[in-house]
Structure 1
């Protein structure tokens, strides 16, 4: 059997965690899928899947092979697209990921624009407040906030943002406005997206770094909830500048200790590196990079 075909069948079985589901996805018969997996394992001389009556899971060797197989399949698909013509209109499916609020505010308008430009495309948007592994989760393009680890991904810097302290005018009128990080100990603190009992916020001033450890009065699992608690006058929280800039502009929240903020965080658009330029990925990356560079700034 063709090696690429066997890889495609294996990836489908591994992702669907079942032979029947993979057969439906590939429009093959279940026996044909079973024969393909058996042929691949025989050719490699290694067990790729653990099977039981209730589940199918990849082995350790199977996980490594699946990562390589996904990369190879993606390269072949990209080569096919490049051969079809660099000026061909994008068509097919694209998966994009970004942090929840950032995706809602900045990435979704770009996705809508992209879909309106290219009617033969469809997009899945994964807005999650965790780092998504593009290769393992089959994602084409990601927007990342913060320094990037070394990887095989291609990264394009589009801007930078800051961590900012904020509170409502009503809270500050009652509790006073801190002038130094040490004075935060006298305030009610709100922590977003943390499950630890103690939080540490870092500050920097005139080349001197400092840290402030505290136990928050309120811990929430979403940025929206932290902002609502701020607006209600409960206390002080630390958020990212893009999340609250509009509220600073209207005076609903006040920015605190700007002279003690740490270095800005870079924002990148990342995608899987390839020798061939995928029309789908290239067209979306070009669009979203241009749009984000107009919007993602230090405030």
Structure 2
């Protein structure tokens, strides 16, 4: 079996790490796939799969090799289509990661438009507020908030977000508006983590960052719950600005202590292969970069 067919056998595991599913996808027997993967591991001298009673999963080396196989196979398919004079359309599976509330407040319309433009691309979206190991996790594209660590990844900046303190107009009318961060000690504070009886919020003053520690009145299990609680008059909360945009724009929440906010954080779209990226990755990155740069929630001082 040549190297290309070995890659095809291994890449068949991309949708789901199951040897039986890969065999069905390729219309071959299960033992054929098992033997092909074993030969591939022996030739490369690395373990690509971890086998257990619950199935198989990719090793770190396997995840990196999977990404390369997918890119090479798609490039071959594109080259063949181009030689035949066919229009090359983005297609295949695309695994993306974004901050948790991006789906609801920023990405819904952008993703929907992309799916309409590229119907042959299947997007698997994950929503987590963390920096991933993109090679190990097999992630094609990620939207990351904050300053990026040094890496070989390609990053395109699309905007900024801020940590904002806000509350409902009704609450502020009843309890007064804090003029300086220390005033928050006399207010009902809404935490964005469950079972948090204190908050530690950073503020910028006279060129320095100071952290205010204060007791909370309500602790919410999610950021969304804290935002909703504040919008209904429960108190004052603090979170990143992108899920607050609609609330601030419609007047359900009002921004306070703006002069003391920390500097804005950059937002980047990050991917791995650069110029060698597949058409589905390039098309997705170009589409969401344009959409995010135009979105009002990504502007430096959206309020």
Aligned-residue offset at 1:202: 0.7
In 1, Cα distance between equivalents of 2:50 and 2:89: 41
**SS of equivalent residue, structure 2 residue 138:** coil
**Which residue in 2 is equivalent to 1:185?**
185
In 1, Cα distance between equivalents of 2:195 and 2:66: 34
User: C-alpha offsets along residues 185-227 of structure 1, whole Å, 9 cap, x if unaligned?
Assistant: 1222112146655432111023122111234332223222111
Aligned-residue offset at 1:72: 2.0
CA pair 194-275 structure 1, distance change in 2 beyond 3 A: farther
Of the three residues 60, 68, 77, the one matched with 1:64 is 60
Using structure 2 for the length normalisation, give the TM-score: 0.83
Structure 2 unmatched ranges of 5 or more = none
**Which residue in 2 is equivalent to 1:76?**
72
**Which residue in 1 is equivalent to 2:272?**
272
CA pair 270-77 structure 1, distance change in 2 beyond 3 A: farther
CA pair 254-113 structure 1, distance change in 2 beyond 3 A: same
Aligned-pair RMSD on alpha carbons? 2.9
Structure 1 unmatched ranges of 5 or more = none
Counterpart contact for 2:185–2:215, Cα < 8 Å:
no
**Which residue in 1 is equivalent to 2:144?**
144
Counterpart contact for 1:82–1:276, Cα < 8 Å:
no
Aligned-residue offset at 1:4: 5.0
In 2, Cα distance between equivalents of 1:227 and 1:128: 18
The number of aligned residues is 295
**Which residue in 2 is equivalent to 1:263?**
263
In 2, Cα distance between equivalents of 1:265 and 1:178: 24
Aligned-residue offset at 1:39: 2.4
Aligned-residue offset at 1:275: 4.1
Using structure 1 for the length normalisation, give the TM-score: 0.84
**Which residue in 2 is equivalent to 1:173?**
173
